[in-house]
Structure 1
């Protein structure tokens, strides 16, 4: 008889681990949010909502988020349709381009945009000879679209890939044209992916910090204004109100997106019959030509962003003196402590996040311990709140407790900031492990702690590795939450790049960004090699 591991059989080690998980989640998720609401003052709401400045900031955030999300989804869907359905030439190459962009540190897009399209940009100044500034709404819009359209591509590509191709073939056999098939079959079946990607990107743009700080100029948005009010004006109550204004739509949009994904998961599921771009259903030559042009254009821009970071690292003075130099690369040595902090904090944070996510997944999915639903909700809280708000909440809580150890705070922010994704990855792996293995081990005299460590953990090793690598790669480039928590003794490379960019030192900013980008690629390559060895060992 199958039963979950839980209360009926005492296990002191698991009870201690369960208590530790609950305590950590309460300390890092629940208490910071409660503390930030305690900072609220009624007059601060009046200050915010009666101020034209703050109302304009809210409008700016809504405007950039809506248009950025809309354009990102349109381009992402077109890219996905071209690769998955239309059968354009070079589909495999094009499918790799968004991957390259998605795995780079988030601020690289904004930095490369300035190098390409700023006042001294390669495109605007060198090629077109224009003396223009794209700082502001339009620059921010372009930077965020290029940053987030890969997310729309992946969500829509998965949706299109899981679509039953027999629907389109049946419509074609009944005399429907390709354009009609698209609008009456493919597009309606794509709506779950389109809506999910739109809402997800909407939340991501609302909480985006790096791009607005580099590109937006005087076009202020909420994520940056929260930081400005706390550090520039030392007005924590106004900062908290702005944070709540940002929090409310983010939480609503996140849960609506999660509800839509869950609702349509069953309705759009297929048993076999995945979409195949057979010759009979392929798009027309005109459509494929247009889609190929769109994919080529976007791919060239993405690759140009990488090229600009590399070129900026070896160019004397960007846009003015193009002489080759190693000066900027050599200057990276001056930031050895900064890089050491970045890597070490990310490593520790990734390890702690992975362990916590694994234990939480075990207690929720493989045990009968109490507070399972509470753990499940709390551990996914960071996914629904902006990083700036979470960083502000942790900062206010620790300040009230007179705790100022920046190293611990930064590691904590990295650990909990990306834990929802680690939790989902490990939960997915754990739910594929049959519970009958637990029963068999128990019948042979194994303890529950032994089952967790010797059966479930090894069988979930791929998910655990993916969780660790994901948190490590994102932790290296994190900005929004940690910017509230760092001190002069704990510099981070991501924040140093932002400072250098604000000072106009593009060469050093590009060289430091290049190091972080290469480091991220090395980490992901190591993951791929480890997984390959794992498969070879188990085959």
Structure 2
């Protein structure tokens, strides 16, 4: 019961209402303008043909009449299905290593696992090309005829790309398992293998299902590896890029983009259903107590080395290729490719850094305001806002990039927005909006509602509640969202490839352009610089989150 009376409030209700409207209206307006409007635009353009008078199904009919697109769709499904099986098996092995073993060196293995998240997706393709291409290291060292282009090259590159995401999802599911089940099984004499089948897999089945659909959706829409390694094995991402950038058939590109939207949307719906059925677990659940097991640790350790060795080899080879004079003919070491004499120099990297900072700053503020609005809204309204905030997870980067191209290259907003850093920042934000929102929504649950009511009763307004209650409990999560948006903006490719201009290029796109033009060592150097920048940001995130947690821990009242 709220015993606060109007007489105790010393702030002005009108000011409070204005701040609330501004804080809630701004993120909703941005969501409508930079996500809903572009999505409606690409949907409408997929039903139009240049020169036609009204909506038509001609573009969708062409999807079935052109054999190249049907073949690319089948290739995408086959490739993503194979990647999903491999990434799920490897992710389960690594998750067991991190959560169910005492293997030494797990922190180092975790650092290797995170490498694909620090780089553009095409870096995996570059590394495999340097290793297993026709002029790769393996061919030069052994004389074996190696050819990484095509199906198996895409499978290998995308499996490395998706491995960290699969592992993190499965590891989170294992962490929620109640260890009391293992105690009961041990008492009943169940073998370790029986415990794994009946408890580990059963308890984490919804996490495994979520990992399946996340991996499938991110690999079927991946663009970077398809450009580097696809070769004659064309997938839907190639078709989208060629329709828009090659043939300038934007309407047909919109139709193919809508086709790409279907598996991602299905993945999101299934994942949400799985999470709802999984629930939050028992509040009396006991965390895992990892007992010594020499055979188990030996098996998990050896298996993890086999899985992670290719990841490390791929990234190490890219760094090595950036340090040689002329790949693959003159392998003397040099730093010449880092002292680049290309026309743009390091400008794309500095532009990417500015873009990442703008995305992280504006995105954190907007997502925080939206999360706060959802927290304070009526349940029926909160559910609708939650769906809108998480819907961007179902839109692949290529689709949102094409949607921005269609929505902002003409019309009243074109002169102000197109070709600007601001528009690219908005594109990056809504590409990763759902993940940022879910991170902050989870952190916001730690804020005690009773403490907010107490501050209100003592005369505190919205700003006082934010300063004294909300931020002390959510500061580490806010820092994590900031650096998440920063890191993703540095490595993203598919969402911004259609928005760069000759005057405003980005580092990830520059890597693709350098590789396409034959400057492979410079492409490797650019990719290495991106990894170094994102790794520094990740380290800063860890330090900043730790310092914020310690600072606010001293200020946070004991509400137990």
Q: TM-score range by the shorter chain?
A: over 0.9
Q: Do the aligned partners of residues 432 and 270 (structure 1) sit closer, same or farther apart at CA in structure 2, a change above 3 Å counting?
A: closer
Contact 2:63 2:69 in 1 (8 A): yes
Count of residues in correspondence between the two structures: 531
CA offset at residue 149 of structure 1?
1.4
Match of 1:278 among 263, 286, 291: 291
Give RMSD over aligned pairs.
Answer: 2.4
Q: Give the equivalent residue in structure 1 for 2:229.
A: 215
**1:389-419 residue CA offsets vs partner (Å, 9 max, x unmatched):** 1111121111342505211321211222212
Q: Give the equivalent residue in structure 1 for 2:349.
A: 339
Contact 1:162 1:274 in 2 (8 A): yes
Q: Do the aligned partners of residues 163 and 51 (structure 1) sit closer, same or farther apart at CA in structure 2, a change above 3 Å counting?
A: same
Q: Do the aligned partners of residues 421 and 91 (structure 1) sit closer, same or farther apart at CA in structure 2, a change above 3 Å counting?
A: same
Q: Do the aligned partners of residues 346 and 89 (structure 1) sit closer, same or farther apart at CA in structure 2, a change above 3 Å counting?
A: closer
Report the TM-score, using the length of structure 1 for normalisation. Answer: 0.93
Query: For residues 51-200 of structure 1, what are the structure 2 equivalents within 5 Å?
Result: 51-122=66-137, 124-200=138-214
- SS of the counterpart of 1:482? coil
More displaced stretch, 18-27 vs 83-92: 83-92
CA offset at residue 369 of structure 1?
10
Aligned equivalents of 2:319, 2:111: Cα separation in 1? 20
Q: Which runs of 5+ in 1 are unaligned?
A: none
Q: Does 1:248 align with 2:254?
A: no
CA offset at residue 383 of structure 1?
1.0
Aligned equivalents of 1:11, 1:362: Cα separation in 2? 14
CA offset at residue 477 of structure 1?
1.1
Aligned equivalents of 2:546, 2:102: Cα separation in 1? 29
Aligned equivalents of 1:535, 1:22: Cα separation in 2? 30
Aligned equivalents of 1:327, 1:442: Cα separation in 2? 62
Match of 2:38 among 32, 35, 43: 32
Q: Does 1:349 align with 2:359?
A: yes
Contact 1:106 1:210 in 2 (8 A): yes
CA offset at residue 368 of structure 1?
4.8
Aligned equivalents of 1:34, 1:2: Cα separation in 2? 44
Q: Give the equivalent residue in structure 2 for 1:14.
A: 20
Contact 1:164 1:270 in 2 (8 A): no
Report the TM-score, using the length of structure 2 for normalisation. Answer: 0.89
More displaced stretch, 478-487 vs 89-98: 89-98
Contact 1:82 1:292 in 2 (8 A): yes
Q: Give the equivalent residue in structure 1 for 2:557.
A: none
Q: Does 1:313 align with 2:326?
A: no
- SS of the counterpart of 2:409? helix
- SS of the counterpart of 2:147? coil
Aligned equivalents of 1:473, 1:42: Cα separation in 2? 40
**1:26-68 residue CA offsets vs partner (Å, 9 max, x unmatched):** 1111111111122113111111112211100110111111111
Contact 1:349 1:472 in 2 (8 A): yes
Q: Do the aligned partners of residues 207 and 366 (structure 1) sit closer, same or farther apart at CA in structure 2, a change above 3 Å counting?
A: same
Q: Which runs of 5+ in 2 are unaligned?
A: 5-12, 48-55, 555-560
Contact 2:179 2:285 in 1 (8 A): no
Q: Does 1:401 align with 2:411?
A: yes
Match of 2:527 among 491, 504, 513: 513
CA offset at residue 69 of structure 1?
0.9
